[in-house]
């Protein structure tokens, strides 16, 4: 699609989907389910086949939470906003048959620390790099979706000796086209990506969204899934619970507020030389084919043609199959 379309997509949860959708949420009433007791990360990890366990590590000045299981070559999974490592729950068992899976809550997410600073993607990539080194791995495969894809790309750009293969799922690193996104799109010319502006505001998002994140989670999925049953009530409660505290909301906004530094850092990166797989939805496929070759030297792009944005939950079988082929 045109450059205008590129400006609407790839820069956070559901950008492409919401640009194309009507933007009207039909979420279930959230008050009751938001208060539902959500299992611990340890319990959630045990519920996934493959012998997964919840762990913590102190690296780069923060404590990171991760879930690990399986055996074989290490593969790191990084999710985005407003999700956690749990977004990979359908993919992890398949990968664990032949890989050591490490699903990480990036800085500010879920069970990981939520410090006041350090949310530029270059520093968050350092978090992940120090984590995998602390686990005894010198080279890893890295898979990222949404904000996690930006961290994954930065990992490959800044730690080339530590990356074997890189997979980006429906999101590329933020670049200068973000500055061209309209605050008020013309009728029929795209959807207002309100969360990018909202998350730039200091302080106010935590006051408004803390304790109410289920409304945001439901709105995003209502506008970003082809079938609402793909992310049922239980999973939405897990995500909302992870973001409901003021600190969690603040940390989520910090990922977006770091975009200026991220854009500046991207200009200093050379092309990634590790093999790169792009798994794009029907709305980002053309963009991936056009942009990825400018960012990396060895690129392959596949289309998840039944997905809008949340590919690990929309088409986990396809994603698992493509990752296993690519990582073999």
The whole-number pLDDT of residue 192 equals 79
The whole-number pLDDT of residue 194 equals 87
The whole-number pLDDT of residue 36 equals 60
Q: Residue 140: helix, strand or coil by DSSP?
A: strand
The whole-number pLDDT of residue 254 equals 98
Question: Are residues 145 and 170 in contact, defined by beta-carbon separation less than 8 angstroms?
Answer: yes
Strands 62-69 and 53-59: antiparallel
Range of the domain at 133: 3-327
Question: Are residues 280 and 302 in contact, defined by beta-carbon separation less than 8 angstroms?
Answer: yes
Tokens encoding 282: 């029907």
First to last CA, the chain: 32
The whole-number pLDDT of residue 304 equals 97
The total number of structural domains that make up the chain: 1
The whole-number pLDDT of residue 184 equals 86
The whole-number pLDDT of residue 21 equals 41
The whole-number pLDDT of residue 235 equals 97
Who's near 2: CB < 8 A, 6+ residues apart? none
Alpha carbon distance 172, 278 (integer Å): 9
Nearest to 326 by CA among 277, 285, 293, 280: 277
Alpha carbon distance 113, 101 (integer Å): 21
The whole-number pLDDT of residue 9 equals 41
pLDDT in tens, the chain (328 residues): 233 333 444 444 334 444 444 444 444 444 444 446 899 999 999 999 999 999 999 999 999 999 999 999 999 999 999 999 999 999 999 999 999 999 999 999 999 999 999 999 999 999 999 999 999 999 999 999 999 999 999 999 999 999 999 999 999 999 999 999 888 888 887 777 889 999 999 999 999 999 999 999 999 999 889 899 999 999 999 999 999 999 999 999 999 999 999 999 999 999 999 999 999 999 999 999 999 999 999 999 999 999 999 999 999 999 999 999 999 9
* Single pTM value for the model: 0.91
Question: Are residues 139 and 164 in contact, defined by beta-carbon separation less than 8 angstroms?
Answer: yes
Query: What is the DSSP secondary-structure string of 247-269?
Result: HHHHHHHHHHHTHHHHHHHHTT-
Question: Are residues 77 and 104 in contact, defined by beta-carbon separation less than 8 angstroms?
Answer: yes
The whole-number pLDDT of residue 293 equals 97
Residue 190 belongs to a domain with what CATH number?
3.40.50.1820
Alpha carbon distance 27, 18 (integer Å): 15
The whole-number pLDDT of residue 188 equals 83
Who's near 185: CB < 8 A, 6+ residues apart? 191, 192
The whole-number pLDDT of residue 181 equals 86
What's phi and psi for 210, nearest 5 deg? -60, 130
Tokens encoding 17: 């989907």
Alpha carbon distance 53, 89 (integer Å): 13
Give the residue ranges of DSSP H helices in the chain: 3-8, 15-20, 31-34, 41-46, 92-96, 121-134, 147-158, 194-198, 204-209, 213-222, 233-243, 246-257, 259-266, 285-295, 311-314, 316-327
Question: Are residues 211 and 35 in contact, defined by beta-carbon separation less than 8 angstroms?
Answer: no
């Amino acid at each position: 699609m045109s450059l205008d379309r590129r400006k609407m997509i790839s820069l956070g949860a559901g950008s492409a989907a919401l640009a194309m959708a009507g933007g009207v949420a039909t979420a279930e009433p959230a008050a009751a389910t938001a208060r539902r007791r959500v299992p611990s990360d340890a319990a959630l990890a045990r519920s996934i086949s493959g012998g997964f366990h919840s762990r913590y590590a102190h690296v780069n000045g923060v404590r990171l939470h991760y879930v690990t299981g399986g055996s074989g070559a290490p593969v790191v999974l990084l999710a985005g906003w407003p999700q956690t490592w749990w977004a990979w729950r359908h993919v992890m068992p398949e990968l664990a048959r032949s890989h050591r899976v490490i699903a990480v809550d990036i800085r500010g997410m879920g069970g990981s620390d939520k410090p006041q600073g350090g949310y530029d993607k270059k520093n968050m990539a350092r978090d992940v790099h120090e984590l995998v080194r602390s686990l005894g791995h010198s080279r890893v495969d890295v898979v990222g979706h949404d904000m996690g894809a930006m961290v994954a790309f930065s990992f490959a750009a800044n730690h080339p000796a530590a990356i074997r293969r890189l997979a980006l799922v429906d999101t590329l690193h933020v670049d200068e086209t973000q500055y061209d996104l309209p605050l008020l799109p013309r009728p029929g010319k795209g959807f207002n990506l309100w969360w990018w502006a909202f998350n730039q505001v200091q302080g106010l998002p935590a006051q408004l969204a803390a304790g109410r994140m289920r409304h945001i989670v439901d709105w995003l999925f209502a506008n970003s899934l082809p079938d609402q049953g793909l992310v049922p009530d239980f999973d939405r409660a897990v995500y909302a619970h992870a973001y409901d505290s003021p600190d969690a909301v603040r940390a989520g906004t910090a990922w977006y507020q770091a975009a200026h530094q991220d854009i500046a850092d991207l200009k200093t990166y050379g092309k990634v030389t590790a093999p790169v797989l792009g798994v794009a939805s029907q709305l980002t496929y053309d963009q991936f084919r056009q942009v990825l070759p400018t960012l990396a030297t060895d690129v392959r792009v596949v289309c998840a043609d039944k997905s809008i944005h949340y590919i690990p939950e929309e088409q986990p079988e396809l994603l698992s199959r493509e990752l296993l082929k690519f990582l073999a």
